[in-house]
Chains A and B, each alone.
Chain A
Amino acid sequence: MGYLIAGYVITAGVLGGYLLSLRMRARRALARAGAVAARRDARISEPGGEANGADG
């Protein structure tokens, strides 16, 4: 019986853990893309920024 329980607990742990890791990766990638875009937009809008042709 112990082997059976171990097998099902490990299955739930591995698949649940992988699912959670995918969700966390999606959230991290979204946050990173947002942060980079926000930094870029701030750089463009500031005086002398890229939009004004200061550094091309």
Chain B
Amino acid sequence: MSVRAGERALGKAVSRRGERTLGVLSAIALLGAMVMALFVTPPDAEQGQVFRLIYVHVPSAWLAYLSFAVVLVASIAYLRTTKTRWDRLAAASAEIGVVFTILTLVLGSIWAKPVWGTWWTWDPRLTTTAVLLLIYLGYLAVRRMTDDPRRRGTWSAVVGIVGFVDVPIVHLSVVWWRSLHQAPVVAKVAPRMAPVMAWTLVLSVVAFTLLYAYLMVLRLRVGRLEEKAVAEALSPRIGAAAAKAAVGG
């Protein structure tokens, strides 16, 4: 997809109607996934009930990866075009990615306690995920270092591109190093799962991805409104232009 086509698709996705549709769809999908996860799937033969955490832990981790992949693509697009909407997209995705990375770490810790006997261990997967969180917290901190939009966009785009290096390291850490953490789920575990468990996992991933899309649309609107408020305060003429841009996406 070209940069221009991506911008057009982004503009359409940000419409209020699209926002409402996404909200309803993600709520229905999440409800269905949670019913399947808690009431339909059987408990695991070895881990029992706590295994059901897989239906929220794995989608959270997937969304952390997806969010930071979007940051990478939007950062490259921003450096190529210097258009604000790409910087806004990267910032929104980074913030949501941080939320899902925190959720992944917390859920992993809750799962680790009954299975590994500890809340936390300096295992390669856990450690690289904690580093990932620090990188993107750093990304958000860099965005607060300057008020100059061009400088902010450039600095954070560089961090967003370089920071993504940790994502494949997190994913492959369980292959490269000896780890308590199980192998990558989709490749190794899902084919051995009962079909109802595998399909519930797929549904959970789809539901969380829809939620990500909804949160992105909402977060992008917040970004536009905050920029409009600042522009209104700075100058009536800039404020009017920003208001026009906000309506047009």
A residues sitting closer than 8 Å to B (CB atoms) are 1, 3-4, 6-8, 10-11, 14-15, 18-19, 22-23, 25-26, 29-30, 32-33, 36-37, 40, 44
Given A11-B107, A37-B239 in contact, is the A3-B56 Cβ separation under 8 Å?
no
Given A15-B103, A29-B222 in contact, is the A4-B215 Cβ separation under 8 Å?
no
Q: Which of B110, B222, B232 contacts A36 (CB 8 A)?
A: B232
| B219 A7 Cβ-Cβ under 8 A | no
| A10 B53 Cβ-Cβ under 8 A | no
Minimum CB distance partner of B115 in chain A: A3
Among listed B64-72, B81-89, B140-148, B223-231, interface-contacting one: B223-231
| B56 A8 Cβ-Cβ under 8 A | yes
| Given pairs A7-B107, A8-B38, A44-B236, 10 additional interface contacts (CB within 8 A) | A3-B113, A7-B57, A7-B110, A15-B103, A26-B221, A29-B226, A32-B229, A33-B239, A37-B232, A37-B239
**Contact of B14 with A by CB under 8 A:** no
B residues sitting closer than 8 Å to A (CB atoms) are 34, 38, 49-50, 52-53, 56-57, 60, 96, 99, 102-103, 106-107, 110-111, 113-114, 211, 215, 218-219, 221-222, 225-226, 228-229, 232-233, 236, 239, 243
| A19 B215 Cβ-Cβ under 8 A | yes
| A36 B99 Cβ-Cβ under 8 A | no
Chain A residue contacts of B222, Cβ below 8 A: 22, 25-26, 29
Chain A residue contacts of B106, Cβ below 8 A: 10, 14
Q: Which of B52, B107, B218 contacts A26 (CB 8 A)?
A: B218
Chain B residue contacts of A19, Cβ below 8 A: 215, 218
Secondary structure class of chain B's binding surface, majority of residues:
helix
Q: Which of B49, B103, B218, B232 contacts A11 (CB 8 A)?
A: B103
Given A15-B211, A25-B222, A32-B229 in contact, is the A3-B53 Cβ separation under 8 Å?
yes
Q: Which of A4, A18, A25, A40 contacts B49 (CB 8 A)?
A: A4
Minimum CB distance partner of B217 in chain A: A22
Minimum CB distance partner of B246 in chain A: A33
Chain B residue contacts of A33, Cβ below 8 A: 225, 228-229, 232, 239, 243
| A1 B110 Cβ-Cβ under 8 A | no
